[in-house]
């Protein structure tokens, strides 16, 4: 059965997220972007009303919401400001590996921290020389007695400067390529050092940091899953989070589309609103179709997960198409505004800058195409596990 009808609960959730975006995010979004303001107050309010940590299971204090529910929230909050939503949504990325494979005690402790207080966690995979090529990471974790000792540096870490704890990927066997990577939960007070906050093109209200680990010790029980399972845990995590990122891209595209259509009705050239010109109408029509298509792919990728099925292919379709759509729609929105679109006083300039990162983080559009090509050409991948032993 194919049914695109949301339940009453889902409609209410979407409405709540939209009202929050209208009331709490939109009024400050452009100012926070200009000044790269850390949105602490908004984090606390979003946490209070239950718009954060929606995927954390109920037994750890979370809402236990589904992936489609998460996408509904993510689209609305990103419509408000994708930089602020990147901050609010990042716990979903950091907690996914823990939910997939951490021990019960680690889940109780670290997931519980996020549901008991408005705290943040970060996901530490990328390194200066290991972006798309995850296997070439250099951070190491060496077992010493009942501890692991972690050394290395991670970059582009969302919320890195503000996190209470980190999911960290490190080599436990340097010679084993992707089969030598393990994942750990690392509390900030174990000695994590925040080196640098990035000054970014877009999504400037989010914190992106470089952090390092110098002989940071964690208990052996903080290992997620088994030793050397980290690469698969990372891939399974990205399968779970890419639908939400796609939803965020839809939110940016929708915001740009709305500004562009409103402006096209008001702006008069050649004696009529520019919306009367077919050149503008065709741009608006393409935006509308692509946003609709991006949302359908996004919802399908989330529903596939909610049904307990492997969603690697469809989540790459969704993430790739939605990210490219956000960039294209935001670019065309600037075009509809003409010269004014290039001026910071007008809203689409920010959306154009914000959209770019959607094609870069959580796997570039090229990596999504690579996954799509492999999944299409090598169907054996459908046999891969969707869960690991804890």
Site for ligand COS in 350-379 (CB under 6 A): 361-363, 367, 370-371
The contacts of residue 263 (CB under 8 Å, 6+ apart) are 336, 337
Question: CA 267: distance to chain centroid?
Answer: 35
Rounded CA-CA distance 232/116 in Å is: 29
In the bound state with ligand COS, the residue whose beta carbon lies nearer, of 176 and 201, is 176
Contact 390, 101 (CB under 8 A): yes
Rounded to a whole number of angstroms, the minimum distance from the CB of residue 131 to ligand COS is 6
Return the H-helix or E-strand segment holding 141: strand 140-144
Phi and psi at residue 128, to the nearest 5°: -50, -40
Q: Decide if residue 19 touches ligand COS (CB under 6 A).
A: no
Rounded CA-CA distance 57/347 in Å is: 37
Beta strands 121-124 and 165-171, pairing class: parallel
Q: Which stretch binds ligand COS (CB under 6 A): 56-64, 160-168, 181-189, 230-238?
A: 230-238
Q: Decide if residue 14 touches ligand COS (CB under 6 A).
A: no
Report the residue closest to ligand COS, judged by CB.
Answer: 363
Longest dimension (CA), the chain: 79
- Choose, by CB under 6 A, the member of 90, 125, 249, 329 that binds ligand COS: 125
Q: Decide if residue 134 touches ligand COS (CB under 6 A).
A: yes
Residue 362 annotated to the active site: yes
Site for ligand COS in 301-330 (CB under 6 A): 312
Residue of 362, 375, 383, 384 with catalytic role: 362
Q: Decide if residue 178 touches ligand COS (CB under 6 A).
A: yes
Q: Decide if residue 236 touches ligand COS (CB under 6 A).
A: yes
In the block, residue with structure tokens 């236990």: 64
Contact 204, 38 (CB under 8 A): no
Size of the site for ligand COS (CB under 6 A): 22
Contact 118, 62 (CB under 8 A): no
Rounded to a whole number of angstroms, the minimum distance from the CB of residue 358 to ligand COS is 12
In the bound state with ligand COS, the residue whose beta carbon lies nearer, of 138 and 179, is 179
Active site residues: 362
Binding site for ligand COS (CB under 6 A): 123, 125-126, 132, 134-135, 178-179, 231-232, 235-236, 238-239, 312, 361-363, 367, 370-371, 384
């Amino acid at each position: 059965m194919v049914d695109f009808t949301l339940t009453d609960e889902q409609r209410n959730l979407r409405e709540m997220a939209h009202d929050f975006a209208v009331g709490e995010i939109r009024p400050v979004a452009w100012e926070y972007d200009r000044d790269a303001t850390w949105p602490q107050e908004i984090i606390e309010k979003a946490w209070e009303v239950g718009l954060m940590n929606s995927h954390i299971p109920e037994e750890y204090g979370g809402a236990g919401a589904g992936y489609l529910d998460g996408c509904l929230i993510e689209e609305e909050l990103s419509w408000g400001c994708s930089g602020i939503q990147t901050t609010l949504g990042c716990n979903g990325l950091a907690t996914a590996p823990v939910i997939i494979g951490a021990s019960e005690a680690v889940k109780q402790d670290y997931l519980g921290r996020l549901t008991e207080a408005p705290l943040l966690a970060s996901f530490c995979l990328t390194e200066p020389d290991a972006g798309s090529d995850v296997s070439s990471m250099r951070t190491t974790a060496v077992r010493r007695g009942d501890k692991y000792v972690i050394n290395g540096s991670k970059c582009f870490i969302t919320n890195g400067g503000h996190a209470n704890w980190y999911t960290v990927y490190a080599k436990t066997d340097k010679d084993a390529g992707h089969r030598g990577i393990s994942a750990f939960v690392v509390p900030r007070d174990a000695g994590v050092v925040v080196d640098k906050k990035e000054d970014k093109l877009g999504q400037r209200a989010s914190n992106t940091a470089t952090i390092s680990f110098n002989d940071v010790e964690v208990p052996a029980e903080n290992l997620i899953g088994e030793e050397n399972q980290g690469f698969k845990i990372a891939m399974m995590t990205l399968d779970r989070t890419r639908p939400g990122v796609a939803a965020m891209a839809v939110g940016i595209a929708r915001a740009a589309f709305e500004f562009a259509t409103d402006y096209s009705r008001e702006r008069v050239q050649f004696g009529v609103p520019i919306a009367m010109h077919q050149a503008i109408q065709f741009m608006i029509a393409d935006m509308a179709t692509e946003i609709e298509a991006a949302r359908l792919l996004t919802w399908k990728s989330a529903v596939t997960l909610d049904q307990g099925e492997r969603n690697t292919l469809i989540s790459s379709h969704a993430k790739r198409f939605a990210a490219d759509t956000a960039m294209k729609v935001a670019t065309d929105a600037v075009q509809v505004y003409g010269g004014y679109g290039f001026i910071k006083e007008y809203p689409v300039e920010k959306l154009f800058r914000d959209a770019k990162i959607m094609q870069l983080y959580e796997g570039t559009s090229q990596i999504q195409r690579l996954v799509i090509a492999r999944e299409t050409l090598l169907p054996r991948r459908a046999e891969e596990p969707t869960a690991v032993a804890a």
